[in-house]
């Protein structure tokens, strides 16, 4: 079995799906790419059992066949080859692989393709189409707030609910919550699923920068994403997502509007002086000024800064984790943000001061009880 392909072209396609492969997989065969050749078409699959990614390439061949190729040695070889055509020759009885290039010949041992797990097929019980830039933005704004606590599996993924009115992406780890909503993405057959964080990180890193349409199909157990010549199939999290709407406070009479980048820069400086366990910073809003301060009593470290802001409602003094605030503000790209609050022991809501037409972002952060220092 033989085929010819450009080295840089093959490397680019393999690199796009290589993120699925883990260093110590449950089944050793998963350290390989599955190569399936059908004349001038090569289909490459990478999998970790939970998530599979498939790329289709054009090659020069007149044959049919399949073989499992060791991923790491193949990628390392291609990375160090100049841009040129390479010829793959494979012996289907011994699974020996020989790569020939202008520079030389490289032999490696493949494996039987029949041992490679089958990629699940997804019936389109539910389907939707979303532009890649919209999906990428939705994932950027939500993945960071997912939980890493395996005891609460529903929180380790992003909840996606697409209805005939809008698409909603929600993530939470119990300390913060992000709700990202688009009114320009809808579908007639509404459905809600929870997609694992690893799969979404892989999807986000593979999405094209140009505005390509991504088709999504879901059934009860799997999600299927397709764009360009790449497909991703992942197992869904079969758990009930927390009732997030009830957590979002609706009455927030205290509102502060502030320049996002100035607030973020101040928090990064003040956080250096915060307690390394709680990361607590204190926000004191009085009139049109915000005082940001932190103290670490164990090391007698202390810092405070004053920033200008716009303020409605009563004065307030409230504590938050600097780490959470910095992450939230870093993931927003607006000029100014609003921090809406009701009391020192109630959640604060951070939203962009200027909302765009089709986008609605709400980020909730739970307060940290203040240490009483002067």
pLDDT (0 to 100) of residue 298: 85
Task: Please give the share of the chain, as a percent, with pLDDT higher than 90.
Answer: 84
The DSSP code for 29 is G
Residue with tokens 């994403």: 225
Give residue 46's pLDDT: 97
More confident residue, 103 or 48: 48
Q: pLDDT value at position 23?
A: 86
Alpha helix stretches (DSSP H) within 143-237:
197-206
Structure-block tokens of residue 337: 């943000």
User: How sure is the predictor about 127, in pLDDT bands with cuts at 50, 70 and 90?
Assistant: confident
Domains of the chain in sequence order: 2-115 (3.10.150.10), 126-246 (3.10.150.10), 254-365 (3.10.150.10)
Between 25-29, 65-69, 122-126, the lowest mean confidence (pLDDT) is in: 122-126
Average pLDDT, integer, range 155-168: 94
pLDDT exceeds cutoff 80 at 125: no
At residue 371, the pLDDT reads: 61
Q: Where residue 374 falls among pLDDT bands split at 50, 70, 90? A: very low
Tell me the pLDDT band of 189, cut-offs 50, 70 and 90.
confident
| Whether the Cβ atoms of residue 308 and residue 289 lie closer than 8 Å to each other | yes
- Does residue 361 have a pLDDT over 80? yes
3-state secondary structure of 244: helix
pTM of the complete model? 0.91
Kindly tell me if the per-residue pLDDT of 17 is higher than 50.
yes
**pLDDT grade for 373, boundaries at 50, 70 and 90:** very low
Tell me the C-alpha distance between 56 and 77, whole Å. 20
Q: Residue 339, Cβ neighbours under 10 Å: how many?
A: 26
Model confidence at 83, pLDDT cuts 50, 70, 90, reads: very high
């Amino acid at each position: 079995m033989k085929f010819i392909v450009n080295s840089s072209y093959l490397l680019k396609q393999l690199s796009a799906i290589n993120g699925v492969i883990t260093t110590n997989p449950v089944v050793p065969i998963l350290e390989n790419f599955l190569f399936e050749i059908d004349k001038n078409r090569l289909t490459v699959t990478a999998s970790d059992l939970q998530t599979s990614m498939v790329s289709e390439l054009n090659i020069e061949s007149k044959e049919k066949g399949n073989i499992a190729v060791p991923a790491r040695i193949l990628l390392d070889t291609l990375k160090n080859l100049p841009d040129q055509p390479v010829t793959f020759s494979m012996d289907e009885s011994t699974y020996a692989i020989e790569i020939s290039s202008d520079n030389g010949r490289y032999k490696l041992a493949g494996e039987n393709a029949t041992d490679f797990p089958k990629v699940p097929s997804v019936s389109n019980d539910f389907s939707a189409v979303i532009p890649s830039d919209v999906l990428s933005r939705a994932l950027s704004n939500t993945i960071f707030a997912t939980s890493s606590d395996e005891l609460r599996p529903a929180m380790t993924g992003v909840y996606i609910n697409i209805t005939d009115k809008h698409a909603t992406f929600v993530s939470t780890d119990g300390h913060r919550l992000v709700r990202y909503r688009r009114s320009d993405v809808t579908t007639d057959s509404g459905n809600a699923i929870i997609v694992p964080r690893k799969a979404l990180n892989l999807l986000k890193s593979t999405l094209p920068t140009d505005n390509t349409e991504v088709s999504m199909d879901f059934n009860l157990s799997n999600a299927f994403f397709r764009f360009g010549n790449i497909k991703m199939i992942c197992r869904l999290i079969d758990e009930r997502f927390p009732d997030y709407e009830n957590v979002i406070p609706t009455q927030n009479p205290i509102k502060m509007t502030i320049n996002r980048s100035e607030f973020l820069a101040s928090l990064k400086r003040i956080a250096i002086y915060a307690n390394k366990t709680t990361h607590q910073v204190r926000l004191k809003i009085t009139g049109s000024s915000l005082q940001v301060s932190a103290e670490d009593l164990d090391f007698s470290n202390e810092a405070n800064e004053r920033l200008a802001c716009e303020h409605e409602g009563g004065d307030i003094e409230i504590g938050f984790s600097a780490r959470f605030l910095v992450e939230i503000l870093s993931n927003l790209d607006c000029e100014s943000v609003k921090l809406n609050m009701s009391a020192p022991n109630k959640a604060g809501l951070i939203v962009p001061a200027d909302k765009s037409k089709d986008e609605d972002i709400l980020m909730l952060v739970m307060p940290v009880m203040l240490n009483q220092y002067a």
